[in-house]
Chain A
Amino acid sequence: MFKVFWSVLHRDLLLAMRRRTDVLTTLFFFVIVVSLFPLGVGTEHAVLRVLGPGVVWVAALLASMLALERLFAADYEDGTLEQLLLTDQPLVLLTLAKVTAHWLLTGLPLVLIAPLVGMQYRLTDTAVAVMMVSLLLGTPVLSLIGAIGAALTLGLRGGGILLALLILPLYIPVLVYGAGAVTVGALAFGDARPYLTLLAAFLVAALALAPFASSAALRISIE
């Protein structure tokens, strides 16, 4: 069973490594969006420090959502997805593997780039640390929930904008606690613990439930 998981994961990562620009596009989108805000609202340190957590998290939401379109699309177009559905392996596991690959390619880079973004917003060192942990816990939830939307909008005209409409409202809890953790944890890491614990709880719940919903959605979209 784990072999199936690994082989799908390995395949998706290999495919992505052959086309590295796709991964970098998401990352640069994130960096550009975050860099635009100081130009729009002014570069006063006090303002930036207040806006920073929210802006970074909203940018992370948008970046992960834009990347979702590619989660199943390529496999859907060339028929691989249909073959995956026809195998006798549990679809939940296959979906989970695809989502994991997607997170490793789009979520993890955001976590790693966070210190750089934190510098732009003059965040304190502890705030940057909290931001990295919160992104580490929160972005997988975004990928897991987003996969449901990506599966539902598979192959539709105007799928991208529709996906945004469906998924962004569901991202709210992650946004609230992710950005809240960074704001609260600006002085001491321990202050952010309740927020981070709740994010971890979201992650566990999403891991347990979301793959079932997205594999059900895949079955609906491909009949």
Chain B
Amino acid sequence: MTLSWSRFASPATFYPLAGRLIPVFWVLAAALILLAFYWGFFETPDQLGGSNAQKGYYRIIFIHVGTAWMSMWLYGMLVLWAAVGLVFKTRLSFMMANAIAPTGAIFTFLALWTGAIWGRPSWGTYWDWDPRLTSELILFFLYVGYIALHSAIDDSRRADRAASLLAIVGLVMVPVIFWSINCPDPNQCAALHQRSGLGKVDGNILFAMLTMTLGFWMYSFATTLMRLRGIILTREAETTWVQDLLRSEGRPA
């Protein structure tokens, strides 16, 4: 049996596959997130640090770190699918990129929001112009720009390709932006986010954090695929397979 890479590039074959995968991802997402909540609340220390201890509120990092990671990862995936679409001219890739964008924007917003809530008790401020905070805000702008450009163009072919090009340009600019706001002069500003590494984190905290991230990942798959199915149906509404599908489900075409 030969495996054809392009087999699932057709919306008609991918649509039922996505339908089968969605419940799997929902179950995985729910299980992982619940486990992470349990572990984060009951298996981790109540205080962190020595002289200036962080009390229970530090637990927001279980959500904060996961959402921040996902926001960056999903932008990378968005650009990947956009690039694949531009190179191979596959419609489904553009639809995939398009379906990822809202989930990514939501995660970016959540990372900023949870960060603000955490920052108030620990840094004494909801917002500061720390490099990572600012980069995350700009990432949010990039998501919004992608969605805005895509929805402003009526012709879906042009919308797909224009928004994809914008996403790629955005990816090129992200590191430049990060390094330009990352304190050109260390005497003028200091980063609030301290240097950290996964090895330095307590095992239980790390476990809860990674499980939560994995749960968010599964959630992203589930929502993206659901949105993708919607996009496929809208775009392919005139084709015979969608008409057949609607008829077999007993819905008016």
Contact = CB atoms under 8 A, between A and B. Distances in A.
A112 to B, nearest CB: 26
A129 B152 CA distance: 42
Interface of A is mostly: helix
Given A169-B173, A184-B185, 7 more contacts: A148-B165, A162-B149, A172-B138, A173-B173, A173-B177, A176-B181, A223-B157
Interface in A205-223: 209, 213, 216-217, 220-221, 223
Interface stretch (B69-77, B115-123, B140-148): B140-148
Contacts of A19: none
A153 B138 contact: no
Contacts of B176: 173, 202
A23 to B, nearest CB: 28
A113 B228 CA distance: 52
Pick from A149, A157, A173 the residue with the most CB of B within 10 Å: A173
Interface in A175-223: 176-177, 180, 184, 194-195, 202, 209, 213, 216-217, 220-221, 223
Contacts of A168: 141
Interface of A: 148-149, 152-153, 156-158, 162, 165-166, 168-170, 172-173, 176-177, 180, 184, 194-195, 202, 209, 213, 216-217, 220-221, 223
Interface string B63-88: 00000000000000000000000000
A152 B149 contact: yes
A223 B157 CA distance: 10
Contacts, number: 71
B93 to A, nearest CB: 15
A202 B141 CA distance: 21
Contact of B184 (A166, A177, A223): A177
A103 B141 CA distance: 26
B161 interface: yes
15 contacts: A152-B165, A156-B153, A162-B149, A165-B145, A166-B148, A166-B166, A170-B169, A170-B173, A170-B177, A172-B138, A173-B177, A177-B180, A213-B165, A217-B165, A221-B158
Pick from A156, A158, A170, A180 the residue with the most CB of B within 10 Å: A170
A148 B148 CA distance: 16
Contact of B181 (A170, A172, A221): A172
Contact of B177 (A157, A165, A169, A180): A169
Interface of B: 138, 141-142, 144-145, 148-149, 152-153, 157-158, 161-162, 165-166, 168-170, 172-173, 176-177, 180-181, 184-185
Given A169-B177, A172-B177, A195-B184, A153 B158 contact: no
B165 A162 contact: no
Contacts of A158: 152
